[in-house]
Structure formats: C-alpha cells, structure tokens
Amino acid sequence: MASGFVTYLDSIKARDPAPRTRWEILLYPGVWALGMHRLAHWLFRGELYFLARFVNHLSRMLTGIDIHPGATIGRNFFIDHGYVVIGETADIGDDVTIYQHVTLGGTAPHEGIGGKRHPTICDGVVIGSGAQVLGPVTVGPRARIGANSVVTKDVPEGATMVGIPARSTLVDAGESSKSFLPYGTPCSDVYDPATQKLEILQCEVEQLRKRLAELIEETQAKRVAPKGRSAGDRSRA
C-alpha cells in the first residue's frame, strides 16, 4: 500500500514540475480531496449516506473541491490547484488530470441513460482549467479538453477539443497524445476552429482582392495599348 501511495505521488510530480519533493505534494488540496473522497465513497457504497455527505462537506470546506461521494475515481487522479466540482454519477479512469475550476456536471434527473447524468472520463485524459464537461458523455482515452471549453458530446480517443461548444482542433491525435500536455492543449499553433475558419476566409478574400486588382490592371492596359498603337500608325502615315 505504501509503494502504491509513493507511485501516486510520483505520478503527480511527473505532471507538475513545481514540487521539489514528495513532501510538498502532500500539501496539495487535490491530494487531500482525493483521500477524503476515498473514505466518503466507501461510506456511500455501504449506504451510510449521511456520513459520506459529512466527509464530503468537510473536504469541500478544507480544500475547495467538491467531489460527490458517489463518483467513481481510478488510480493516479490529479486535481491541480482546486475549485473543481465532480458529480455523483461521474466515472473517472486512471491517470486523469484536471486543472482548476473544472466541472464534471450533470443533466436533469429525468435525462441521461439509466440515471447516468454525469460524464465518463477515460484513462489518460487531461482537462484544462475552466472547462465544463456536461451530461452523460464519454471522453475517450488520452483526449485533451482545452481550457474554458464546454463539452456536451462524446469525445473520440486522442482528440484535442477546444471552444464553446467544444470542437476537435486540427492537431493530429497521434502527436497530441505522445506526451503530457499541461492544460489540455499545446501552447502554440492551436486555435479555436471557428477562428481558424475565419482566418482562412480572410486569406481567401485577400487573395481574391489581389486577383481582382490584377484583372483590372490587365483590362485597362488592353484598352490603352490599341489606342497608342493606332496613334503611332497615324503619325507614321
């Protein structure tokens, strides 16, 4: 059990360059929140709902992180900073990283499938700060959710999603999933797909303007050239 806990701390250190030692990681609110959630989840499964809620309430006061006791969380889960909300029927896999102000929110109780109202987050997913993943959607393995994105539909494996609503970027899935990406997306050459389309349209308009200017110049040159030749012919005559 001790070796497993050390492995957990090392997995956090691999994703966060800030701590110099494992002892520093022990002060992270995400570590405390996850530890208290393990207890609350054990009580919840034992149908000791009030005690589970009490532990959850205490954890929220101490860490600013609200994880419903019913949520299922795998190994090496890392909440960086805090202020995260995770709903009751959320299912989180192994090696998942969530940054601050993320919500794994649910739909209304009468919606969803078989009472499943919250997202399923598969192994190796990174969710950037401020992102919202809403409803019983599935975020595929190794997917990346960019900061402040709003996800309301299933996310394919290895995809990088940005925007409101979230759409897949032009980043190659194989390239984006080779290494850990802080905040869910690379820090350069990644833009909102809507912005990309706008920039492409602007380039096309600029190219059309240049071509139109060239055509106007060619037309004017053709009109002037015959007059010049005819005048020269008359003078020689």
> What is the model's pLDDT at position 41?
96
Same domain, 203 and 162: no
Domain endpoint, select from 187, 202, 227: 187
For residues 140 and 168, give the distance between their C-alpha atoms in angstroms, rounded to a whole number.
Answer: 13
Same domain, 38 and 10: yes
> What is the model's pLDDT at position 134?
93
Sequential DSSP letters for 149-170 = -EE-S-B-TT-EEETTTTEE-S
> What is the model's pLDDT at position 219?
85
- Please name the residue that has the structure tokens 């009751």: 88
Same domain, 203 and 174: no
Length of the chain: 237
Nearest to 145 by CA among 134, 129, 136: 129
Q: Cβ neighbours of residue 53 under 8 Å, at least 6 residues apart? A: 40, 69
Same domain, 195 and 182: no
Domain that holds residue 224: 191-237
For residues 203 and 207, give the distance between their C-alpha atoms in angstroms, rounded to a whole number.
Answer: 6
> What is the model's pLDDT at position 45?
94
Run means of pLDDT, 10 residues per run, the chain, 237 residues: 82 86 90 95 95 95 94 93 91 93 82 76 92 93 90 90 80 56 60 57 78 86 66 50
Same domain, 220 and 127: no
Domain count of the fold of the chain: 2
Q: How far is CA 191 from each of CA 7, 25, 100, 185, rounded to the nearest angstrom?
A: 35, 33, 21, 10
> Which DSSP helix (H) or strand (E) runs through 36?
helix 29-45
For residues 32 and 37, give the distance between their C-alpha atoms in angstroms, rounded to a whole number.
Answer: 8
Helices and strands counted in the chain (H then E): 6, 15
Same domain, 182 and 130: yes
> What is the model's pLDDT at position 70?
94
Domain endpoint, select from 170, 187, 204: 187
Same domain, 140 and 177: yes
For residues 96 and 86, give the distance between their C-alpha atoms in angstroms, rounded to a whole number.
Answer: 13
Same domain, 228 and 125: no
Same domain, 153 and 232: no
Same domain, 196 and 181: no
**CATH code of the domain in which 56 resides:** 2.160.10.10
Same domain, 70 and 137: yes
Domain endpoint, select from 168, 187, 206: 187
Same domain, 109 and 136: yes
> What is the model's pLDDT at position 159?
87
